[in-house]
Amino acid sequence: MRNTICTRLFAAAVLLFMTACTPAPQHAPEEKNESDNSGPSWSYSGNAGPDNWDSLDPSFSACANGTEQSPIDIELANVQLDKSLAEININYTPTSFTLVNNGHTIQANDASGRNTLTVDNEEYILLQMHFHKPSEHLINGQPFEMEGHLVHQNTEGKLAVLGFLINAGNENKIFAEMFSKLPQVETEEDVTLEKFVDLENLLPNEKNFFRYSGSLTTPPCSEDVKWIVMDQPIEMSKEQIEAFGSIFPHNSRPIQPLNGRKVSEQES
């Protein structure tokens, strides 16, 4: 009997030691989406519109009190060419995406972890892409038909957003399947695309960028976001633009004060 008890006590001690010494599982950083649909209800118009975002919840206070808010009007006369900036490396590969309608935009999620952006010698992994109509960023006061945001996150949870402006023109074949399957109403489950999306060939051949420090353009309007806006727009057909516009006729935040921030231009 004594031997049995001793054996059980010894086994329990070994199990306790192994449990104490086993490293805790590593978790991926919490996903932060530039178009997060969680928290208090907000809108692009009415009492829950951009002018009142800060009053909807204390966590939205930066929408009114922040000093580095997005989007901005990029005035070319004030843009500074900065050759000292570290090179931006875009490493995109054809990838499977899933679509959601989150009530504020159409969002295409990338769970692969294979698409990356290196900014200021830090690597950011693509989380998702979403769209605004009309464009949120202006150039010399002029809006574009639409704007796409590619939202990336580094291991510390900080964000870098690559924005691309969209003009009406030829059909965009890279977005052909995506824009033929845009969810018309808010979704509970992702819609899986059959074909891979080739982001590398989506972007302009001449990859020159406007860069500045900004924020999320949706609540909670968090700052310390690295913004990279392509200076050359891409094209989508009138039909593709109207397909999005039939769901979201207007989902853009108004222009925010620059407050002395520097906007730099970086050539590839």
Catalytic residues: 104
Q: Provide DSSP, the chain.
A: -HHHHHHHHHHHHHHHHHHHHSPPPP-PPPP--TT---SS---SSGGGSGGGHHHH-GGGTHHHH-SS-S--EE-GGG-EE-TTSPPPEEE---B--EEEE-SSSEEEE--S---EEEETTEEEEEEEEEEESS-SSEETTB--SEEEEEEEE-TTS-EEEEEEEEEE-S--GGGHHHHHS--SS--SSPEEPSSPB-STTTS-SS--EEEEEEE-SSTT--EEEEEEEESS-EEE-HHHHHHHHTT-S---PPP---TT---EEE--
